[in-house]
Structure formats: C-alpha cells, structure tokens
Structure 1
Amino acid sequence: MNKSIIAVAVAIASLSLAGCGSEPSQAAAQQQLQTIDVAKVLVKPVQNWHTYTTRLEAPQEVALMPRVSGVIEQISFQEGDAVKQGDLLFKLDPRPFAAVVDSLKAQIASAQAALSQAQSEAKRAERLTERKAISTEQAESRTSTLRQREAQLLALQAQLQSAELDFQFSEVRAPIDGIISRANITKGNNVLAGQSVLTSIVSNQKMYAYFDIDERTWNQSFARVTAESGQQVVMQKVAETAFAHRGEINFIDNQINHTTGTLRVRAVFDNDEQQLRAGSFARIKLAASQVSEQVIIPERAIGTDLKNRFVLTVAEGNVLEYKLITIGERYGSLRAVSSGLSKDDIIAVNGPARVGPGMPINPNTVTINSDGVAFTLSADSADLVAKQ
C-alpha cells in the first residue's frame, strides 16, 4: 500500500517537472534566433553610367621660338606665372636690327632722289620728242631708267618693311593667354630663328579631355548625342574621392576608327578656379541617354562567392535564401541589380557577414535610404551625381 502511494507520487512529480521545463525551452529557442535587419528592395528609374580614363589637354599650347636670330638681352617674366597675350617675355639685342633699318632708310632716301631725277628726265624727254629734238631711242632709254628707279624704290621699301618686322620680332611676346613654363634658354645666349625653344605656354581657362567609346556602347547608349546637345559629364582627378568637376561633350569625331572600333569624343571643362592642369590623369563618367527601371539595393547587402555575386533573401518561415544576382551601376552607397531579384523581394540589408543560407532569423524591418542619391542625370541632380 505504501509502495503504491510512493510510486504514484513520484510519477506525478516527474510529470510536473517535465511540464515546467517545456515552456522555458521553447522561449530559449526563440531567443537564440538572430535579429537581422531586412528591407524590401527599391525599384527606381536609372541611367547607366560609363567610365573612361583620359589625360587633360589644354585647348592651346605653344612651344615659343624666336622669329629672328640673336642674343637674349632680357627675360621679362616669372617662371610658372600666368601671362596675357601680348606680354613681353624675351628681348633680343635690338641693335643689329636697328642698324639694318637705318641703312635701308638711307638707301630709300637715295632711291627717292634718283627716282625724282629720272622722273624729271623722262618728262623732259617727252617734250623734246614732241619737238623732234631727241631721238626715239634716247626717250625710251630715259623711260626705262624711270621704271628701274621705281622698281628699286619698291624693293627697298619691301626690305625696310621686313627689317622693321625683324626689329619688332626682337621682342618675343606671348601669343596666347595661359601659364608659362620655365625659360629653357637664359640671358646672354644666342638663339636661332625657328629652332631654339625658349619656353612653352599652355592655355588655362578651359581643359579638354579626349576619350574613346567603343562602337557597340555608342550605338546602344549615346546614338542620339550630338556635339550641340550639351551632354553632361563629370570628372575625377587622381586622389580625389568624388567626381567633382562638371563639363559637357563639345566634339564627336566624324568617323569610327576602323582599327580600334572606337569613336573619339571630347569633353570640355571650365577651369576658372585653376584646379585643372594639362597632362593630368582623370576619369570621365557620363550617363547613357536611355532611362530604365532597375532594382536597387545597398552595396553592403551583396556577398561574393568565388566569382559570383549573391544576396540573402527572406523566404517563408523567415528563413534566409541564397540568390545569385547580376549587378549594375553603382549610385552612391547603393547598387543597381540587373537580374536575379524582383520588386517584391526582401533582403538582408547587411549582407552575409553573420548569417548564411538556410538560417532562420528574427527579422527587423527597415527601409533602404535613397535620400541624396541621383539615379538619373538632370540639372537638379548633377551636383549629387558628382559626389557619388
């Protein structure tokens, strides 16, 4: 009797303990699920961006050479300074040129006197011929002498004009506005006309950037672009984090290069702040003219699996699912996805850092922030694009 009572009591106690332990175990299992931020993907109208490398070129560049030979007497600029068209840069010793000018002026004075005498004799010959007081041969000789004196005077006047130009060219002046380099030849050295490179000047108010677009890309994305359409571009220099310089296409070559299959295009940039230098390496970014809708997700949501890109989506039962994707253009901290996701997909926004496929999670719903991101290039959004 006592043994039966004890056995029943033990059984009841065991059932009670089992019942008490089931509820905490279920709560503990719930607490073990990781809380993961998830969000529904965005769908936005976007323009694809194309990036090209280039080097900046000045619209005008001059290797400055003297037009006359001589000895440098004076250098009138600070190396590396900005110069204006017409500024005096070099001065050659002007005395040899001045002497030639003076000599020709004297010869012209003599030729004018000889011409005056020849004119008088020719007029006298006409009067004498009318009275038959001089032979026809003598009259023609005096007329011929007059023509020779006229030709001699014209030749000397032409020589004087050339000599005066040489005298002017003894002062070497800036042919364009721009930034001047160092003096390659210093004071006291002899220079040769058309051979000695004194210095160089590059214009600095604008900068050109030439780049080549392959034929397929041009036909797909830029076929409607013309030099007059003002297609906007942005540029990034070496060590810059943003595409901070804005310009526009102002030249498209007239034919495809049959050797490379590319089309040469030029963008022009204002350089009012003097931040651009000729020869600088740069990256050009320009938007395709066509606008299409694409799925947008955060860059950090994308994982890499060998050569594949993937994201983790939330499936039934809040279980993560592996999905391969094809990525498109980057827009700030966001990335377009050209295939692999639909507009209704929900993704793990922080990527596969702490979770993996097949793992159940405790989802925390958030919103993908696209404020301050320009997905298409317009007058209002160009500044935002430049910062991306």
Structure 2
Amino acid sequence: MLHSRPRRRVWRALAATGLAAAVAFAVAGCDTRAQDQTAPAPPDVGVAAVLSEQVQDWNEATGRIAAVESVELRPRVSGYVERVAYAEGDEVAKGDLLFVIDPRPYRAALQRAEAELARARAEAQLAKTRHTRAQSLIEASAISRDDFEARSAGLAEAEAAVRAAQAMVETARLDLAFTQVRAPVAGRAGRAMLTTGNLAQADASLLTTVVSQDPVHVYFETDERTFLRHQAMSRAGERRNADNAVRVGLADEAGHPHAGTVDFLDNQINPATGTVRARAVLPNPDRRFTPGLFARVQLEGASARPAILIDDKAVITDQDRKYVYVVGEDNTAQRRDIVPGRMVEGLRVVESGLATGDRVIVNGVQKVFMPGMPVAPQAVAMRGGQPIEAVAKR
C-alpha cells in the first residue's frame, strides 16, 4: 500500500501530459483547417498584350488663332456719319457698303472742280487760237518775236491749267466716292464704333474692324530642339518647312481633330525664351475657328517609328517612378518599371521597360497588393479593355 500511492501519482502525471499533447494537436489541426478554409482565391484581373505599332511623333505646342486678313476700317474723308449700312457681327463680302458719310460737301466740291476744268479748257482753247494766229503773223513779220513767244507761253500755261483742273476733278471724285465706306476684304464685321450723326475724322476715327474667316492662321512657339530637327529634315530633303503637317485642337475638344500645314517660320530665335515663332494655316469652312481662340498644336516630327503602346490605366505612379504589373507564365504579378511617353490615339507610348509579348494588367490593378502575388488573368483588348476570353491558368 505504501508503494501504490506514488505509482498512481506517476500515472496521473503521464495521463495529464498525454491529454495536453492531444489537445494541442487537435488545436493545431483546427488552425490548419481554418487557414485552409480562409485563404483567398487569386483575384480576377484584365490582362492585355502590349501593342507594337508604327507611330508618328508629334511635338506639342500652344498657340492662338488669328485672321489671315484683319482690317481696322477708318474713313478717308471727314464728315458726319449719315448711315450705318450693315448688321454688326455679320459676314460681309469684299466691296459691300458699310458706312455712308454725308456726301453733300464733296458733291459740291466735285461740281466746283468740274466748273474750273471747263473754264480752263475754254481759256486753253482761246490761247490755242491766239497761238495759231501768231504763227501766221510771225511768218508775215506782222508781230514781233516777243509777242509770238508770249502767246506760245500763254498756250502752254493754259494747257497746264487744264491738267491741274482735271487732277482737281479726279481728287473731288475720289473724295465723293470715299463717302461710301466699303469692306476692303471679305470677312466678319465687328460692331460700329461710330453711329449715325457722329463726326468721323479722316484717317483717325475707327469705324469698325473686319476679319477674314476662311482660312485662318494659328501662331505658336516651338523650342530650339524642334526647330533644329526640322531644319535638319529640310536639309536632308525629307520635307520642306511649308509642308510640315500640324494638328490643332480647341479648348473644348478632345485630341487634335483639325489638320493644317506650316506656312511660315520666323527668321530668328528669340534669345529670351529660346523659341521661334511659327505659323500654320487651317481651313475654316464651318467657321469653327474665331480669331483669338486658344489652340493646342501638334507639329509633325520625324518619320513614323515602331513603338510599344499600352492602356494608360495600367500605369501606376510610385513617387518619381512609373511602373506596371505584368503577368508571367506562373500567373503572378511582377512589377516592371517603365519610361512612359506621349499619348497616341488613346494609348500611352512606352519608351522603355516593356517588350513585344508582355502581358500587362489593365483592369483590376488595385487588386494587386504586392509583386509576386498570384492573379487569375482574363484576356481583354488593350483598346477599351473589353473581355476577349477567360484565361484561368491555376
């Protein structure tokens, strides 16, 4: 009996130890099953193969629309405005009547000049008759040489007076015509700065402005590097400056839907800004362009070149770096740093970092938390991101 009590204590200790081990093993098994049941499935992501296409380089600039012809209309004669003969803001044709200045003083001046011309012609006719008579008399030695020369000089003076009177008539006729102020160019007329009853001063008073509508110019500045590149292209005979294509977009437009050509480059670089002024001409049949509008300009660069294109939604920013996630053969997302370029037809040019055949995550990038994470790729189109087919390689 004395030896049985220690033996029972030993067995109790061993039983307690076995029970604890069994409980620990059971708990561990439960944890493993719980982890297996709560492990998330790889997220579905839209994956598209990079596009390799020929792209045309374009240099970006900003500019302003300007009229090819812009006229500040001022009167050539002074007088009171009798009538405004156009509707403000309307388009006018070359030669259309815009203003009428009181013509009565100029009509009277023309009549006076015509009367002076008639008198001068009468005096010239009398001087010619006297000169003819003097010729016959001098041949008969009936008058002195001095009298004959005086009559000859009188005829020359009378003929000069006729020419002067004719010039006065022409001047008066022009002044009378200038009382009708007509459009010197076709275009859109602005508001009337002087209305009926106001005094218009010759060559001083502004009556209105007229700006041409079709075509229009767009002036923009380009940097030295772009200028030198185009100079090199011209020397190589690739194209002339006047043939350089441009694309233009307005503030309310997406992209650059309007096409034109460069027709002028300035003859010097602005040393303060390091830029040169250029001008392009654009057709404007639908009157989309109005002088003074802001314009976004793309100037055609070098010849087309191959480039890698991706959807801009795939690009992620990490401080000063840009990167994308590509999907490898094992369906894991791998980070790939890139150097992005400009946008071309809604896609981003990748200058370096990607190669033909790479598959980039376009849709569901936010589901990827870290490089190496498993994903369930679904093939989508690079343009638009629409599904093509499910690709589940698990």
Give the shorter-chain TM-score range.
Answer: 0.7 to 0.9
Aligned positions of 1:153-164 closer than 5 A: 153-164=162-173
Aligned length: 358
State how far apart, in whole Å, the 2-side matches of 1:72 and 1:214 are: 49
Instruction: Name structure 2 gaps, 5 residues minimum.
Output: 1-24, 234-238, 385-394
Per the TM alignment, residue 163 of structure 1 is displaced from its structure 2 partner at its CA by: 0.6
Per the TM alignment, residue 108 of structure 1 is displaced from its structure 2 partner at its CA by: 1.3
State how far apart, in whole Å, the 2-side matches of 1:345 and 1:325 are: 13
Residue equivalent to 1:226: 240
Residue equivalent to 2:114: 105
1:127-184 per-position Cα deviation (integer Å, ceiling 9, x unaligned): 1111111111111111111111111111111111111000100110110000000110
| Length-normalised TM-score, structure 2 | 0.83
- The CA RMSD over aligned residues, in Å, is 2.8
Aligned mate of 2:351, from 332, 335, 338: 338
Secondary structure of the structure 2 residue equivalent to 1:349: strand
State how far apart, in whole Å, the 2-side matches of 1:327 and 1:254 are: 35
Per the TM alignment, residue 329 of structure 1 is displaced from its structure 2 partner at its CA by: 1.4
Is structure 2 residue 290 aligned with structure 1 residue 277?
yes
1:59-93 per-position Cα deviation (integer Å, ceiling 9, x unaligned): 00000000011111111100000101111111111
Amino acid at match of 1:226: R
Please identify the structure whose Cα radius of gyration is greater: 2
Contact 1:226/1:252, CA 8 A, preserved across alignment = no
* 1:344–1:138 Cα change, 3 Å: same
State how far apart, in whole Å, the 1-side matches of 2:320 and 2:358 are: 23
Bigger shift: residues 349-358 or 96-105: 349-358
Contact 1:101/1:160, CA 8 A, preserved across alignment = yes
Per the TM alignment, residue 119 of structure 1 is displaced from its structure 2 partner at its CA by: 0.7
Residue equivalent to 2:327: 314
Aligned mate of 2:44, from 23, 35, 42: 35
Is structure 2 residue 68 aligned with structure 1 residue 59?
yes
Identity of aligned residues (%): 36
Secondary structure of the structure 2 residue equivalent to 1:282: strand
* 1:221–1:347 Cα change, 3 Å: farther
Amino acid at match of 2:104: R
Contact 1:318/1:361, CA 8 A, preserved across alignment = yes
Contact 1:54/1:282, CA 8 A, preserved across alignment = yes
Is structure 2 residue 144 aligned with structure 1 residue 131?
no
Residue equivalent to 2:311: 298
* 1:220–1:154 Cα change, 3 Å: closer
1:210-265 per-position Cα deviation (integer Å, ceiling 9, x unaligned): 11211212334674242442x33221112223423222222233444444332322
Amino acid at match of 1:293: P
Bigger shift: residues 44-53 or 360-369: 360-369
Is structure 2 residue 171 aligned with structure 1 residue 171?
no
State how far apart, in whole Å, the 2-side matches of 1:228 and 1:59 are: 16
* 1:305–1:189 Cα change, 3 Å: same
Secondary structure of the structure 2 residue equivalent to 1:133: coil
Residue equivalent to 1:44: 53
Amino acid at match of 1:343: T
Instruction: Name structure 1 gaps, 5 residues minimum.
Output: 1-14, 372-388
Residue equivalent to 1:3: none
Contact 1:301/1:351, CA 8 A, preserved across alignment = no
Aligned positions of 1:67-82 closer than 5 A: 67-82=76-91
State how far apart, in whole Å, the 2-side matches of 1:312 and 1:90 are: 70
Secondary structure of the structure 1 residue equivalent to 2:191: coil
Aligned positions of 1:182-197 closer than 5 A: 182-197=191-206
Secondary structure of the structure 1 residue equivalent to 2:164: helix
Secondary structure of the structure 1 residue equivalent to 2:363: coil
Contact 2:331/2:377, CA 8 A, preserved across alignment = no
Contact 2:310/2:382, CA 8 A, preserved across alignment = no
* 1:351–1:285 Cα change, 3 Å: farther
* 1:242–1:216 Cα change, 3 Å: closer
* 1:133–1:256 Cα change, 3 Å: same
Residue equivalent to 1:146: 155
* 1:234–1:351 Cα change, 3 Å: farther
